[in-house]
Structure 1
Amino acid sequence: MSDRRTRRPSSVYRHGTEPDPRFSLANERTYLAWIRTSLAFLAGGVALEALGLSLHPGFRLAASVLLIVAGILTPLQAWIGWARTERALRLDRPLPSALLSVPIAAVVMIVGVLVSLGILFA
C-alpha cells in the first residue's frame, strides 16, 4: 500500500481513510465523463464555425463561443467534482453535488436556442 504522503493531490489524500475501491473508480469514471463532455463541447463549437453551416453568422458565432467556453470550464467541474467527491468518500460524508451542472445545462439550452434562431433567420 502506498504511503499517504506520496499520493497527489495531498489536499484529497491526506484526509480520512481509504474508501472501497469501487467507489473511487466510479468517481474516476465520472471525472472522465466530464472530460469527454468537455471535448464534445469544444468539438461542437469549432465545428459550428469551421463547417460554415448556413446559419445566421451572429447566432452561429455566439453558439460557437458559448460551446467553447463551456468546453474550457467543464474540466474545472471535472477536477473540483472529483476532488470533492473523493474527499467525501474518504471522510464518509454525503456526496457533494456538481457545482457547474446547472450552468452547463443552461449553456446547452441557450446554444440550442441560438442555433434554432440561426436557422430561422439565415
Structure 2
Amino acid sequence: MEPDPRFTLANERTFLTWLSTALALSAAGVAMAAVPSDVFVPWIRTGLAVILVTLSALAAGMAYPRWRNIQRALRKQAPLPPPALAAVFGYGVAAVAVLALVLIILAA
C-alpha cells in the first residue's frame, strides 16, 4: 500500500536534514582542526575535531537506513522505528559545546 505522499515527502525532508546536519558537523570538525594551536590545547582541539567529524559520519551513514526503515513502516502501516542515534547526537554535540566553552573561558 502506498503511504500518503505527505508522509513520504516529510520522510524525505528528514533524510535531507540528516545530510545537512552531517555536512554542518563535518564543517565544524574541519574548522575546529584549523583553529590556531595557541587558542586551544592541540590534543583537545584535535579531539573535538575528531568527535565532530565522527558524528558527521554517523549522521550521513545512518540517514539512508533510517529513511528506508521509516518508508517501509509507512508502507506496512507499522509503528515507526525509534530514532536510535538521537541521544548520541544530542549528547555528543552538547559535550563538544561544553568542552569548547570551557576552553574559550580558559583561553580568555
Q: Same fold (TM over 0.5)?
A: yes
SS at match of 1:96: coil
Higher relative helix content: 2
TM-score (structure 2 length as normaliser): 0.89
Q: Cα deviation per residue 1:74-118 (whole Å; 9 max; x = unaligned)?
A: 012211210111011000012112111111111101101221232
Residue 27 (structure 1) aligns with: 11
- Which consecutive unaligned segments of at least 5 residues does structure 2 have? none
Select between 47-56 and 72-81 the one with higher mean Cα deviation: 47-56
Q: Which letter maps to 2:20?
A: R
Residues in 2 aligned to 1:33 and 1:45: alpha-carbon distance in whole angstroms: 18
Q: Which letter maps to 2:61?
A: L
Residues in 2 aligned to 1:89 and 1:121: alpha-carbon distance in whole angstroms: 50
Partner of residue 78 from structure 2, selected from 73, 88, 93: 93
TM-score (structure 1 length as normaliser): 0.80
Q: Cα deviation per residue 1:37-70 (whole Å; 9 max; x = unaligned)?
A: 0000000000011132712222211111100000
Question: For residues 12-91 of structure 1, what are the structure 2 equivalents within 5 Å?
Answer: 17-52=1-36, 54-91=39-76
RMSD between superposed Cα atoms in Å: 1.5
Partner of residue 114 from structure 1, selected from 94, 99, 103: 99
Which is greater in Rg? 1
- Which consecutive unaligned segments of at least 5 residues does structure 1 have? 1-16
